[in-house]
Amino acid sequence: MMATELLMVAPMMPHVMEALDRDFQVHRLWEAEDCQALLSEVGGRVKGIATNGHAGASAELMSALPNLEVISCFGVGYDGIDVEHAKTQGVIVTNTPDVLTEDVADIAFVLMLGVCRRIPQCDRYVREGKWLNGPYPLTDRLGGHTAGILGLGRIGKAIARRAEVCGMSVAYHGRREQTDQPYTFYADLAEMAAAVDYLVVACPGGAETDNLVNRRVLEALGEKGTLINIARGSVVEESALVELLLDGKLRGAGLDVFADEPKVPEALFALDNVVLLPHVGSASKETRKAMGDLVVDNLVAHFAGKPVLTPVT
Ligand code: 8YV
């Protein structure tokens, strides 16, 4: 029997490529000299896409694949995939939730702690031999402060648990109140920003949340407040964030994600009150392995006639 044909949009981890090559005939779009020519040649036979949240899958790409049945996304975020279009075409979309929740929440927590206790600066202090001349200046403590979480989903809740353990109060803003949660709900994001010390962005990216954390929200967070973002750069009005940080109108920022990755506004490099990470929320070996396995398992399940494991609903 002929192997089912897949389109891989961007390179994936070796174990994912090997597993997919075993079960499917995989066309590698990023290797094609002429993408249009590859799509014209194999598009009619391709039944599945393997992609990630950044490379995504546009409506245009889907139109070139008339027999497409399923899109398997490496990542919990699927903002690069035109899910609405997929739905109209009856194409199933899957992502990789749950397996990365704890790692991403760890990074949010580390960013709060890193900015507050000045961990990168302390490390430099030791390396530069400055400790020999005296102790490092005192910092603020994290406990006793308030974290306002934007998006109390799986990752948001895992961040809330970490914040509670270290003695922080927790508030949240989202589309609706979750009455089973013990945290303070704010129906208005700017109001929450005004009330908290750390505004932690943990909501999905995409059109619905584009620039949700705009200048008004950042100004409400103000000089007492620190912005933490482990979600998507698109959720924050980055130019306003940089401007307010440069003007000393925000206390600090801990950022794992940016609007135009891997480009980071260079103005941030000179600031001592920001911690910058290269989008490593889910980047532990164990978690990335589990995410890769889920990409494969979703495709295998679908083409074995079974329900996919983690559909985007
Ligand atoms: C990955 C992520 O960096 O899951 C997500 O949405 O942003 C991260 O886990 C990304 O998906 C890798 O492509």
Beta-bridge partners for 147: 170, 198
48 Cα: distance to centroid of ligand 1 (angstroms): 20
CA distances from 49 to 27, 99, 150, 275 (A): 10, 21, 31, 35
77 Cα: distance to centroid of ligand 1 (angstroms): 6
Percent of the chain with pLDDT over 90: 98
Active site residue 232: yes
Atom of ligand 1 nearest to the CA of 232: 7
Could you tell me if the CB of 101 is within 6 A of ligand 1?
no
Asked whether the predicted pLDDT for residue 33 surpasses 80, the reply is yes
Model confidence at 27, in pLDDT bands (50, 70, 90)? Answer: very high
Atom of ligand 1 nearest to the CA of 52: 13
Contact 266, 246 (CB under 8 A): no
Largest CA distance in the chain: 73
Average pLDDT over residues 129-141: 97
Arithmetic mean of pLDDT over the chain: 97
Q: What pLDDT, in 10s, does the model give residues 225-250? A: 999 999 999 999 999 999 999 999 99
- End-to-end Cα separation, the chain, in angstroms: 32
Residue 98: exposure state from Cβ atoms within 10 A (0-12, 13-18, ≥19)? middle
Q: Which of 85, 117, 154, 279 is catalytic?
A: 279
283 Cα: distance to centroid of ligand 1 (angstroms): 8
CA distances from 125 to 117, 148, 217, 259 (A): 13, 31, 34, 31
Q: Which of 27, 173, 232, 302 is catalytic?
A: 232
Cα–Cα distance for residue pair 310/300, rounded to 1 Å: 12
Could you tell me if the CB of 53 is within 6 A of ligand 1?
yes
